[in-house]
Amino acid sequence: MRKRMTGALGLLLAASLLMPGTAMAVGTADLSDGVPTPAGSLILDTSDGMSRDRVTDVTGFTVSDAWSGISERGTYWTPTIKGASLIVQDVGEWTDPAGMKHVMDMRVTVTDWHGLAALNIRHIDNEDRVEFGVIAGSWADPAPDRTWIELRLDLLAADGASLDGFSGVTGFADLDGGTTGYNEGWELVSGFDTVYTMADAHLTRYGDNGWAGIIDENEHTQDEHGLQHYLGATFDSTSLTVRYGIAAGQSRATTLMPLSTVSTWPLTYDLNAGTGAIPNKEQ
């Protein structure tokens, strides 16, 4: 599994948590049909290629290079105030309706949290990648109740361009169960259109548009079992609110990891072999 930081088949469990926020309605769809990815969409992925020098405008955090109970190399930004924020540069590329490409940055604001949680960049040694994400809980100091952190993700064009016509896709992989009740999960509080899960997902619904791992832990992100622990999502808002949480006594880390293997792309073709006056079409 990606973490010792590292849903019932068709079972939906009603659960609620004493957490802030009012969720906006979000649609659901079957992941086995793929995640529709419009041409030019931002693929919001922070699971690799990250570095500390891409994190700027840091305010309201303490910064360290270690986390209690783990040995992975990294940098950890622990919030000290609500409203702590930083900017992650170059989280992907978006193509506007006119065909112009724009590098996208992401401002991450911690709106609230409960328990020990932080933003981080970590080198995942066994997978040889460097991710930006979230870490919660500590094996060295287990929490007595659920630990969570709520974030607002504001997407910004690095060149300052207007984001009219914006769309994006992201994903949340490797959501572990393996505890009594539900364990590692994301609540998609606002800004999302549709979420995608397998019909036999090892995930259950909870909280504000939340999906969390149940039944067992996961090891590989893209095999059949990994897809049972995966949540895909589409959005056309440039401001997203999410909440990451883990069960009492646990410690986990996660990142934004859309799986390309489940994306479905529009088919494009050229009329008259691209030489006539009729423009290219998409379907």
How confident is the model over 208-218, as pLDDT tens digits? 999 999 999 99
Q: Average pLDDT over the chain, rounded to whole?
A: 87
**Token pair of 170 as six digits:** 């992201």
pTM, two decimals, is 0.86
Q: Which residues of 103-119 are buried (b: 16+ CB within 10 A; e: fewer)?
A: ebbbbbbbbebbbbbbb
3-state class (DSSP) for residue 262 = helix
Residues of the chain with pLDDT below 70 are 1-23, 265-283
Those residues with Cβ within 8 angstroms of residue 202's Cβ, 6 or more apart along the chain or in another chain = 7, 8, 9, 177, 213, 214, 215, 216, 218, 225, 228, 229
H or E stretch at 89: strand 84-95
Q: Has residue 32 been placed in a domain?
A: yes
Q: Has residue 268 been placed in a domain?
A: no
Range of the domain at 41: 27-261
Our count of domains for the chain comes to 1
Q: Has residue 135 been placed in a domain?
A: yes
Q: Has residue 164 been placed in a domain?
A: yes
Q: Has residue 195 been placed in a domain?
A: yes
Q: Has residue 41 been placed in a domain?
A: yes
